[in-house]
Amino acid sequence: MSTESINAELLTRMFLCGAQNLEANKAWINELNVFPVPDGDTGTNMTMTVVSAVREVTGLSEHPEMKAICKAISSGSLRGARGNSGVILSQLFRGFCKVARDNSEVDVKLTADAFDKAVETAYKAVMKPKEGTILTVAKGAAEKARELADGGVTDFAEFLPQVIQYADDVLAKTPEMLPVLKQAGVVDSGGQGLVQFLKGALQGFEGKEPDLERILNPDAAAEEEQAPEAAQPELRYGYEADFVILLDKTFNQKLENDFRNYLNSIGDHVTVQTRPTAVKVEIQTNDPGLILQRGLMYGQVAGIRIENLRMKDKELPSFTEESGEKKQEQEEAPAPAPDAPRKSIGIIAVCAGDGLAEIFRGLGVDMVIQGGQTMNPSTADILDAVDKVNADTVFILPNNKNIILAANQAAAMDGDKSVVVIPTKTVPQGITAVINFMPDQDAEANRQNMVEEISRVKSAEVTYAVRDTVIDDVEIHQGNMMAIGDEGILEVGEDLNETAAKALGRMITDDTELVSIYYGAQTSKEDAEALRSRVCEEHPSCEVELQEGGQPVYYYILSAE
């Protein structure tokens, strides 16, 4: 085959090699986070977005046509998109595939057209595009592609290396476009992810064969290579779980594929057996709770068995039986609620932490998606939750700025219901939005009111620094406590409560009436109560609420309103 055209087979190999190179560099990309917090997840999000498409591509029949390949890449990445960079990457694929799909082969000029369409599609998906990001790198690649195509270059062996080198050059300039990148000493992480994908695609063009096992199950592949022949390999997943989902909805092929993809993304040895009214699941994973939570999106779960594989031979402590009355309370399963009438408006909230989830449920939220930093839900996760809520209109509260794009994408894709995204960037904003929801008002009146009220909330999150850096002219050292507010760093210090109290001091004004403190999974109740007491003493005019959030990563989530 001439290097002046790319057919479906070669495009598939290039895409898979791009995915493999992105996956191989995801940890490095994660570390390019501007804020030195333990939640860098750009590389992970982009990889999971691409892997979702890889699963659709590899599920096609042998020797598929260009249209089928493009559909699999586009639909797989759109549904699997996580985080802002993942959503933008999925839109780049979508735009590219719109141009390529109707051709049995693509030449350099058509590829330049596809690059242009990719950039146009991605920019449209972002409400306020910012230069110095993955968008800028993609635009640079498209501009170079157009220059070469219009200049008469027809050979991909000449075209692709120059386009990718120019994208890399643009990436190197992103710190000059975004001062926050320059001060932190990093290039844009999303842009780096795109460049690594393109470099992998070039390897595929040059003849490299993709390793599907490394793409779809990279940790296991690496362990197999490194483990001595006689050594007993350490278990990758610590729990074995199996259970049955008693379906309360039609489990069509799309839902089944999404469910399988989700299970494969966080586990191994996955078996899914489907029946008209039930699904049986077997899996090895490190978080059986997430698996059960996902199962509840499709119906009731029953016959649950969870075994800790690492403690098979260890003796567990015995417990005396509690009173018969208490035992009965624990064993009696609640009677299933009768089908509720369809609501006018339902609400979905995203949060991480059992305490926060209970707070949202207590305020009347219909469904909570477990997610947040380090665990951004995909577009498909959000779509599944929307499908589950029995309402004509569904409000989505992302409660994280890195989930808003995926929520918007889900809203654009859902066709059966009206989906409204309230752009909550923090959990406190989400709680305020729910509190100000008025069931007797229509969707538009509620949307306007909720958006207005969340603008009055000041939020901050307190965690620790994972590396030395400088942000907003503030010097930060590894291990420091940091309070990150709505607009950037609020406070840095050595002591957790001292840092949190000083951050609240910056947030509280004469007009502040309520301060809320949500303490995380790594914070003791005693420390949280001590912080509350200090805030009450220093700000006697404010009401100070303390609640257990149970969130990972962040010791405290704070709000003032």
Taking a C-beta distance cutoff of 8 angstroms, is the pair 364, 343 a contact? no
**Residue 65 half-sphere exposure toward CB, CA atoms < 13 A:** 5
pTM: 0.75
Identify whether 131 is part of a domain.
Answer: yes
Identify whether 491 is part of a domain.
Answer: yes
Identify whether 319 is part of a domain.
Answer: no
Query: DSSP code of 296?
Result: T
What pLDDT shows up at residue 326?
A: 38
How does residue 148 score in pLDDT terms, banded at 50, 70 and 90? Answer: very high
| Residues 102, 16 share a domain | yes
Domain tally, the chain:
4
- Domain of residue 87: give its range: 6-217
| Residues 21, 122 share a domain | yes
| Residues 96, 12 share a domain | yes
SS3 letters for 85-136? HHHHHHHHHHHHHHHHCCCCEECHHHHHHHHHHHHHHHHHHCCCCCCCCHHH
| Residues 114, 175 share a domain | yes
**pLDDT, tens digit (0-9, with 9 covering 90-100), for 15-58:** 999 999 999 998 889 888 777 676 568 888 999 999 999 999 99
| Residues 527, 426 share a domain | no
| Residues 125, 20 share a domain | yes
Return the amino acid letter for 133: T
Nearest CA to 206 out of 151, 164, 147 is that of 164
How far is Cα 41 from Cα 80, in angstroms, rounded to an integer? 15
Residue at which a domain ends, from 422, 439, 454: 454
Residue 321 main-chain phi, psi, to 5 deg: -70, 140
The pair of structure tokens assigned to 92 is 């780049």
CATH of the domain at 287: 3.30.70
What pLDDT shows up at residue 40?
A: 65
| Residues 442, 466 share a domain | no
Identify whether 315 is part of a domain.
Answer: no
What pLDDT shows up at residue 272?
A: 86
| Residues 134, 99 share a domain | yes
For residue 463, pLDDT beyond 60: yes
> Exposure of 489 by Cβ count < 10 A (0-12 exposed, 13-18 middle, 19+ buried)?
middle
Identify whether 230 is part of a domain.
Answer: no
Residue at which a domain ends, from 287, 309, 331: 309
CATH of the domain at 520: 3.30.1180.10
| Residues 517, 481 share a domain | yes
| Residues 494, 480 share a domain | yes
Cα-based distances in Å from 503 to 236, 342, 558: 40, 44, 9
The structure tokens 């994660």 sit at: 30
Residue at which a domain ends, from 421, 454, 487: 454
- Looking at residues 378-383, what average pLDDT do you find? 92
CATH of the domain at 146: 1.25.40.340
> Exposure of 405 by Cβ count < 10 A (0-12 exposed, 13-18 middle, 19+ buried)?
buried
| Residues 96, 211 share a domain | yes
**Residue 354 half-sphere exposure toward CB, CA atoms < 13 A:** 4
Residue 515 main-chain phi, psi, to 5 deg: -120, 130
CATH of the domain at 356: 3.40.50.510
Q: What is the DSSP pairing of strand 418-421 with strand 391-397?
A: parallel
For residue 247, pLDDT beyond 60: yes
**pLDDT, tens digit (0-9, with 9 covering 90-100), for 77-127:** 999 999 899 999 999 999 999 999 999 999 999 999 999 999 999 999 888
| Residues 145, 62 share a domain | yes
**pLDDT, tens digit (0-9, with 9 covering 90-100), for 157-172:** 999 999 999 999 999 9
For residue 224, pLDDT beyond 60: no
What pLDDT shows up at residue 100?
A: 96
Q: What is the DSSP string of 228-252?
A: -TTS-PPPS--EEEEEEEEESS---
Identify whether 232 is part of a domain.
Answer: no
Return the amino acid letter for 19: A
Question: pLDDT over 70 for what percent of the chain?
Answer: 89
Cα-based distances in Å from 341 to 248, 296, 360, 390, 391: 15, 19, 21, 8, 9
